[in-house]
C-alpha cells in the first residue's frame, strides 16, 4: 500500500526514554497494515544485535546496519513505503537531504535518535531533521537521581560525570549512561 504523500516523523529524547520502543511500535503497525518496511541502523551500534534495532527493554525489529546514510539509496527496495532509521544522531549531515528525498518520493520516514549529546548540546543532524519533520515526538525518561522527568543523557566515567572534552560518540547503555533531569545533569569542565 503506497502513501498518498510522504512524511518525516522524528522520535527523540534522552537515552532510556523509549525512542526505540516507539519506533518498533510504529513499524509493527505499518507491518500489520501490509506496508513494505525497511529499517536501517548505524553499523557502529552493536550493543544488542548487529542486524536488529533493539530497545533497552528488549523489543526488537530486523534492521540493516549501514556505515553511511548514502547506503540507504543503494539498499532501498522498489516497493518500500516505510523507511525507519534508528540512532540517526550517529549519521553525518548527508542524512538530511536523503530523508527529504525519500519523503518527496511518497515514503513515510520514521527517525529515532538522541536530540542532545551527553553535554546537553544538539546532536549531529537531529536538530535539522526535527525542524523539517511533519511530526516530532520528544519523549522523557525518569531521572535516575530524583525520579522527576528526565530530558538529558548523563555519561558516567568510573561512576563520575564525564568531562566536556571527552569524545562525543561512545556507544553504550546503562554501564555508561543514565537519564537525568536538568537539575541533576552534570558536565565536568574542570
With b for 16 or more beta-carbon neighbours within 10 A and e for fewer, the 87-123 pattern comes to bbbbbeeebbebbbebbeeebbbbbbbbbbbbbbeeb
Q: Which residues pair with 180 in a beta bridge?
A: 152
Cell of 181: 533531569
Closest to 84 measured CA to CA, from 109, 117, 114, 113: 109
Phi then psi for 22, rounded to 5 degrees?
A: -70, -40
List of residues 6+ apart from 104 with CB closer than 8 A: 6
21, 57 in Cβ contact below 8 A?
A: yes
Among 9, 87, 94, 175, the one annotated catalytic? 87
Which pairing describes strands 82-85 and 37-42: parallel, antiparallel, or unpaired?
Answer: parallel
Cβ neighbours of residue 32 under 8 Å, at least 6 residues apart? none
Q: Is-catalytic flag, 60?
A: no
- Give catalytic residue positions: 87
Amino acid at each position: 500500500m503506497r502513501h498518498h504523500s510522504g512524511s518525516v516523523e522524528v522520535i527523540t529524547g534522552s537515552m532510556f526514554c523509549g525512542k526505540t520502543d516507539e519506533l518498533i511500535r510504529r513499524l509493527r503497525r505499518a507491518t500489520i497494515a501490509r506496508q513494505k518496511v525497511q529499517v536501517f541502523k548505524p553499523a557502529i551500534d552493536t550493543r544488542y544485535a548487529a542486524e536488529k534495532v533493539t530497545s533497552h527493554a528488549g523489543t526488537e525489529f530486523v534492521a540493516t546496519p549501514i556505515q553511511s546514510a548514502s547506503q540507504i539509496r543503494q539498499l532501498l527496495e522498489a516497493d518500500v513505503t516505510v523507511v525507519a532509521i534508528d540512532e540517526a544522531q550517529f549519521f553525518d549531515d548527508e542524512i538530511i537531504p536523503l530523508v527529504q528525498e525519500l519523503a518527496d518520493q511518497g515514503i513515510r520516514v520514521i527517525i529515532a535518535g538522541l536530540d542532545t549529546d551527553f553535554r546537553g548540546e544538539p546532536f549531529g543532524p537531529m536538530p535539522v531533521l526535527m525542524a523539517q519533520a511533519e511530526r516530532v515526538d520528544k519523549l522523557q525518561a525518569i531521572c535516575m537521581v530524583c525520579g522527576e522527568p528526565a530530558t538529558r543523557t548523563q555519561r558516567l566515567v568510573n561512576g563520575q560525570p564525564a568531562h566536556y572534552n571527552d569524545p562525543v560518540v561512545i556507544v553504550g547503555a546503562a554501564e555508561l549512561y543514565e537519564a537525568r533531569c536538568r537539575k541533576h545533569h552534570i558536565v565536568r569542565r574542570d
